[in-house]
Structure 1
């Protein structure tokens, strides 16, 4: 799966939150300063070409919806990140962040507990 640019990811975050939206609705959800209508429309069309977004026609307008879930994108992004920076080793990644962020033993144990609860 292709990685999104910052602008594309910002648009996808809105679509994931709203499930479906017109360009105007997307703009309404973006922070100030609001991008131009044509800018957002162009980004949405690029997302369509990349296979992230689909649309249905409603009157004169297109209503856009995500074709890929946020979870699927996050999983793909994280796999690529671990592969590129940690030779595909999640153990190396956790070790790096444990040392870098100075995680306490208690925090690490809590993280392990949460992971075990999610994956019995």
Structure 2
């Protein structure tokens, strides 16, 4: 999967929230100062070419929607991050996170409980 530029990711975040929209809808979701309409339209076309966004014509208007889910993109980005910075080792990532955030033993144990609970939920769904 290709990676997104910062501008592309901003637009994808908006589209994931909107579910679908026209260029004007996307522009209106930006904080001031908003990017130009033509800039957003260009980035949406790039996203369509990268197959992150699908577009359907309704009259003279293009309606854009995400072609991949936010979860799918996040999973891919996290996998790349884990591989690039921690050699694919989640324990190394967790250790780094714990050290950088000066987590207490209680906080680490709470993370483990939450993780176990989430994994059990996921296993029950399968």
Q: Structure 1 length normalisation: TM-score? A: 0.97
Residues 48-95 of structure 1, C-alpha deviations (whole Å, 9 max, x = no match): 111100011111110000010000000000000010000110110110
Instruction: Compute the displacement of 1:115 (Å).
Output: 1.1
Distance in 2 (CA, whole Å) between partners of 1:2 and 1:107 is 35
Kindly report which structure 2 residues correspond to 1:36-115, keeping only aligned pairs within 5 A, or say none: 36-115=36-115
Which residue in the other structure is 1:5 paired with?
5
| SS at 2:48 equivalent | helix
Instruction: State the SS of the aligned residue for 1:119.
Output: helix
* Count of residue pairs brought into register by the alignment: 120
The structural deviation recorded for 1:109 is 1.3
More moved, 100-109 vs 62-71: 100-109
Considering only aligned residues, what root-mean-square deviation do their CA atoms show, in Å?
Answer: 0.7
For 2:55, what is the secondary structure of its paired residue? strand
Q: CA deviation at 1:100?
A: 1.1
Kindly provide the CA deviation profile for residues 27-55 of structure 1, in whole angstroms up to 9, marking residues without a partner as x. Answer: 01011100001100010011011110001
Tell me the CA shift for residue 2 of structure 1.
1.2
Q: Which residue of 1 aligns with 2:31?
A: 31
The answer to whether the aligner puts 1:119 opposite 2:119 as a matched pair is: yes
CA distance in structure 2 between the partners assigned to 1:78 and 1:39 by the alignment: 28
TM-score by length of 2: 0.93
